[in-house]
Amino acid sequence: MAAALSMERGLARPQFLGLSMAGLAAFFGIWTVASLAGAAPEQFLPPPWKVAARFIQLTREPFVGYTLQQHLLSSFMRFGMGFALAVAIGVPLGLALGWFRWLDMIVSPMFDALRFVAPIAWVPFAALWFGTGIGGPVLVIFTGAFPPCVINTYRGARHVEPYLVEAAQTLGASHWQIITEVLLPASVPSIVAGLRVSAGLAWQSLVGAELIVASSGIGYLLVKGQASISTSIVMSGMIAIGIVGFAIDALLQRLEARIHRRRGR
């Protein structure tokens, strides 16, 4: 996103990369100075190199039963299940709401009420229903990822050019044909934009769920690191969360850019 904005504002890629590196250098410089100056005990504010060493150690030695990669894999499997479920239900529902006005009037009031419930608020409910099984985190992830899928798909379907729908109706297309052959293709850019938002919320929701209703995963690692009073472990987990989240968003951003190129935008 930042790269795209830099191009719009006239910054060349080398300039953008240079400014980004300067920002990172300033961040790590302030962190190093604060740590060495004793702004907080080293146990609570370790220098960057010690966090890096602990990060590497976690990739080689198990912590609470698993290495860092295994915790991430466990988290990613939960993320994949919850996100896929949200897309599989949210996209068709958004298209249906955009086409059938009667369905929109029935579903929208309940949907608008539930979408304002924060995903983390579902954690106690998930714990009561599923305990520490996989169902709890998947439910929390679903609640975070589902609303953006529905909303963006709905908006895409509602903003389809009317002449496309009229042409399909003139040719005798059924409701199903209009949804699958007119609304869906025209809504693809909006759907993919919604998937980026949905994936980000799903990844954040996952970590929140694993803080309470999981016995493995990157959120569980953070909890156990905090219980061990090990800031370096907590920071290593946060770095891993950021790297994976950035990678997920970058992949979806490339998909979005490719769709726009193919559409000549």
**Per-residue confidence (pLDDT) for residue 149, from 0 to 100:** 92
**Per-residue confidence (pLDDT) for residue 11, from 0 to 100:** 59
What distance in Å separates the CA atoms of residue 171 and residue 116, rounded to the nearest whole number? 41
pTM above 0.85, yes or no: no
Number of domains present in the structure of the chain: 2
Same domain (yes/no): 9, 136: no
Same domain (yes/no): 121, 191: yes
**Per-residue confidence (pLDDT) for residue 1, from 0 to 100:** 53
Domain limits for position 31: 1-39
Same domain (yes/no): 10, 88: no
Same domain (yes/no): 49, 11: no
Same domain (yes/no): 121, 200: yes
Same domain (yes/no): 14, 106: no
Same domain (yes/no): 84, 176: yes
Instruction: State both tokens at 38.
Output: 């004793």
Same domain (yes/no): 88, 29: no
High-pLDDT (> 70) share of the chain, %? 92
- Cβ count near 218 (within 10 Å): 26
Read off the pLDDT band of 56 (50, 70, 90).
very high
Same domain (yes/no): 23, 95: no
Read off the pLDDT band of 7 (50, 70, 90).
very low
Residue 93: which CATH number? 1.10.3720.10
Closest CA to 39 of 50, 27, 31, 49: 31
| Tens-place pLDDT, residues 179-202 | 887 888 888 888 988 899 999 899
Same domain (yes/no): 80, 96: yes
Same domain (yes/no): 48, 138: yes
Are residues 233 and 54 in contact, defined by beta-carbon separation less than 8 angstroms?
Answer: yes
Same domain (yes/no): 88, 169: yes
| Tens-place pLDDT, residues 118-166 | 888 888 888 788 776 778 888 889 999 999 999 999 998 888 887 777 7
**Per-residue confidence (pLDDT) for residue 125, from 0 to 100:** 82
What is the pLDDT averaged over residues 37-47? 81
**Per-residue confidence (pLDDT) for residue 8, from 0 to 100:** 45
